[in-house]
Chain A
Amino acid sequence: MSAAQSPLLKVTGLQKLFPIKKGFLKRTVGHVRAVDGVDFHIDEGETLGLVGESGCGKTTTARCVLRAIEPTQGKIHMRVADGSVVELGQQSPREMRALRRQMQMIFQDPFTSLNPRMTLLDLVGEPLLVHGLANRREREERVADLLTRVGLRPEYMRRFPHAFSGGERQRIGIARALALHPRLVVADEPVSALDVSVQAQILNLLVDLQADFRLTYLFVAHDLSVVRHISNRVAVMYVGRMVELAETTEIFERPRHPYTAALLSAVPEPDPRTRARRIVLQGEVANPAAPPSGCYFHPRCPHAIDVCKTQTPAWQEVSPGHFASCHRAQELQLAGVE
């Protein structure tokens, strides 16, 4: 593969275990397998949606990619601005700091992710200041420009975040993330705290900015409808593992893993005429500190057979670009959404 075609981000065998400590000596008595062997890549300019229910490890995966937390195992290769590919785990802290300019994060809650004592100018200008990029005048100009790009009036830059609504605050967070012209933006549930009427504004803004700035998104969300509107490809996680990954239309219309099919069927649609028969899964999401044997999904899976209880299914390409880890991925006919 030539450098020009290699993906922007390539994650191999990513694993993150959190130790469970007990007793006076704080001995490690087990591990929460938050992320347990995840592989994926993201091409430049595309959006990969990462979905799953709470505790499935999607946020931990995102944070490992940014090295906000250190992965236990696995490699993260990123193609940097000069075209060379670096492994993030082998970077010195100083090198990492420079790399961080190219990867930024947008958070879920715009009410707690902005310092209430900083003005918009400080908030959006802080990354420029930290990286020594601009003097005061230039910084103000850049901030004004960024605010305009995210749909806020530059006159507001001396105000504090409390004067803004949730949607506007999310715009501030986006401006701050874009200040350093990142290549990769990790957005962790960026619209789930917003009112429904405001979600659409922010989703459209993210799509526009992606085109303008040639951004690559890792978009973490639990809402499958939101994911459909923004992603080129979608990855589904369950208890620390990836169960399926495919192009968006493909995974929504032809899911190959029973968990994906159940998730799709569980989404209530805003149309009373499509009250469909839902796949009601029994039981609850497995405990990542003591996952079941074999396929982690087998205790809830309506299609489980004996082999599912004992053997971990392999991550296989069931059709070009469509990956799933299910023993029966080839034979099952699962319903998606039309």
Chain B
Amino acid sequence: MSERSAPLLSVRNLKTYFTQDEGTVRAVDGVSFDLFPGVTLGVVGESGCGKSITARSILRIVDRPGRIVDGEIHFRRPGANGGGASLVDLAKLEPNGAEMRSIRGAEIALIFQEPMSSFSPVHSVGNQIIEAIRLHQPVGRREARQKTIEILRRVGVSTPEQRVDQLANQLSGGLRQRAMIAMALSCEPTLLIADEPTTALDVTTQTQILELMRQLQQEDGMAIMLITHDLGVVAEMATDVVVMYLGRVVEQGPVDAIFHEPRHPYTRALLRSIPRIRARTRERLTPIAGAVPHPYDRPSGCPFHPRCAEFMAGRCDRQTPELKSVGDRHAVSCFLYE
């Protein structure tokens, strides 16, 4: 594939730390991955693995005391005035500077898990989308409103002429998530970051929203970074997958390789442990021992070693494995493969 040659987003050795009196939480600790245009990258991991902080780092909206301490986030901006595309390092930009503000919400859009808390409760949903459009595009109020109604219709909101003046709390969960997607897409982003976009939704509504995201991607060709803990959603949506554990990428590769030839002991154990709808009834599960460690109590060496069935004493607890290629676009950070 030719589009593989130029990534839209290239994250290199990203480190985002939270320094507090109790100690430093290394929320993101040396994460690298590439995201290509028109492709869906699934980022999976359990709570505390740093998947959301990675997304917030890319958008430069990490809350204090969090700070990017190292690494690069190269983002390819479409050329202005027909000129060639330009690469910017988002990690070097001022979080609230003009350039970052012109990227955030326009070229990179974000949808959150909880649509209720992402909309203002006192402004109509329409006005909030209109505001986003007018912030990034040189259009008048009336034209922006027209655009808003069109985009609401595009994301499957029925009677958008009426919905546009409603408040977020007058919409159901599914409609709110549609409105959220409408707002994100209003400026035609090249990258959509979806952070657990369907976790708060019922399963039949989840199907609708995933279907919608897939359809919009086909029409607009945007890249999607899909962050979720749900391996089912990732298998359904992603082209490539990044598996994270305690701030590090443990494995990455094409979706089929991750699910059918997982190499890292964590990925393997995780896939074995999840309940499956095609299982035999009352089949016993194979759990992973222990729990995700507390962030202040991060294990030395490979962060997964205390729970790992293939732990090698003296190695895994002393040294930290780096990502090594094990196949076509498939990489794993584990001493078993060195």
- Residue contact B279 to A229, C-beta cutoff 8 Å: yes
Q: In this complex, what residue of A is CB-closest to B205?
A: A284
Check A225/B279 contact, CB under 8 A, given A268-B232, A270-B271, A284-B172.
yes
Q: List 19 A-B contacts (CB under 8 A).
A: A195-B47, A197-B269, A197-B291, A199-B274, A200-B273, A204-B284, A204-B285, A225-B232, A231-B282, A249-B280, A266-B206, A268-B233, A268-B235, A269-B278, A270-B274, A273-B260, A275-B236, A284-B205, A337-B277
Q: Contact residues of A with B, CB < 8 Å?
A: 53-54, 165-168, 195-201, 203-204, 207, 222-226, 228-232, 247-249, 252, 262-275, 278-281, 284-285, 337-338
Q: In this complex, what residue of A is CB-closest to B202?
A: A53
Chain A residue contacts of B231, Cβ below 8 A: 196, 270
Which 7 pairs, one residue from A and one from B, show the smallest C-beta to C-beta distance? A268-B232, A200-B287, A200-B285, A53-B202, A165-B291, A270-B231, A225-B275
Interface flag for B255 (CB, 8 Å): yes
Chain B residue contacts of A198, Cβ below 8 A: 287-288, 291-292
- Residue contact B291 to A269, C-beta cutoff 8 Å: no
Q: In this complex, what residue of A is CB-closest to B272?
A: A200
Interface flag for B103 (CB, 8 Å): no
Q: In this complex, what residue of A is CB-closest to B237?
A: A268
9 further A-B pairs in the complex, CB-CB below 8 A; given A199-B287, A207-B284, A269-B277: A53-B202, A168-B291, A198-B292, A200-B274, A200-B275, A207-B282, A232-B281, A272-B238, A284-B174
Q: Which of B261-279 contact A (CB under 8 A)?
A: 269-271, 273-279
User: Which of these, A225, A231, A271, contacts B235 with CB under 8 Å?
Assistant: A271
Stretch at the interface among B72-80, B123-131, B160-168, B207-215: B207-215
Measured as residues with beta carbon below 8 angstroms from the partner, the interface class of chain B is 35 or more
Most buried by B among A167, A197, A225, A226: A197
In the bound complex, how far is the Cα of B260 from the Cα of A279, in angstroms? 26
Chain A residue contacts of B259, Cβ below 8 A: 270-273
- Residue contact B282 to A232, C-beta cutoff 8 Å: yes
Chain B residue contacts of A268, Cβ below 8 A: 206, 210, 230, 232-233, 235-236
Check A272/B277 contact, CB under 8 A, given A195-B229, A203-B285, A280-B211.
no
Check A229/B174 contact, CB under 8 A, given A270-B276, A280-B211, A281-B207.
no
Q: In this complex, what residue of A is CB-closest to B294?
A: A165
Chain A residue contacts of B236, Cβ below 8 A: 268-269, 272, 275
Shortest Cβ gap from B45 to chain A (Å) = 9
Q: In this complex, what residue of B is CB-closest to A251?
A: B281
In the bound complex, how far is the Cα of B274 from the Cα of A278, in angstroms? 21
Shortest Cβ gap from A268 to chain B (Å) = 3
Interface flag for B283 (CB, 8 Å): yes
- Residue contact A264 to B277, C-beta cutoff 8 Å: yes
Check A252/B172 contact, CB under 8 A, given A262-B204, A268-B232, A270-B271.
no
- Residue contact A269 to B202, C-beta cutoff 8 Å: no
- Residue contact A266 to B207, C-beta cutoff 8 Å: yes
In the bound complex, how far is the Cα of B271 from the Cα of A337, in angstroms? 19
In the bound complex, how far is the Cα of B120 from the Cα of A5, in angstroms? 57
Check A263/B288 contact, CB under 8 A, given A203-B275, A268-B230, A272-B256.
no
Chain B residue contacts of A285, Cβ below 8 A: 202, 204
- Residue contact A281 to B292, C-beta cutoff 8 Å: no
- Residue contact A252 to B281, C-beta cutoff 8 Å: yes
- Residue contact B203 to A249, C-beta cutoff 8 Å: no
Interface flag for B320 (CB, 8 Å): no
In the bound complex, how far is the Cα of B200 from the Cα of A222, in angstroms? 12
In the bound complex, how far is the Cα of B210 from the Cα of A266, in angstroms? 10
Interface flag for B286 (CB, 8 Å): yes
Interface flag for B46 (CB, 8 Å): yes
- Residue contact B205 to A272, C-beta cutoff 8 Å: no
Shortest Cβ gap from B291 to chain A (Å) = 4
- Residue contact B211 to A196, C-beta cutoff 8 Å: no
Q: In this complex, what residue of A is CB-closest to B260?
A: A273
- Residue contact B211 to A199, C-beta cutoff 8 Å: no
In the bound complex, how far is the Cα of B270 from the Cα of A199, in angstroms? 11
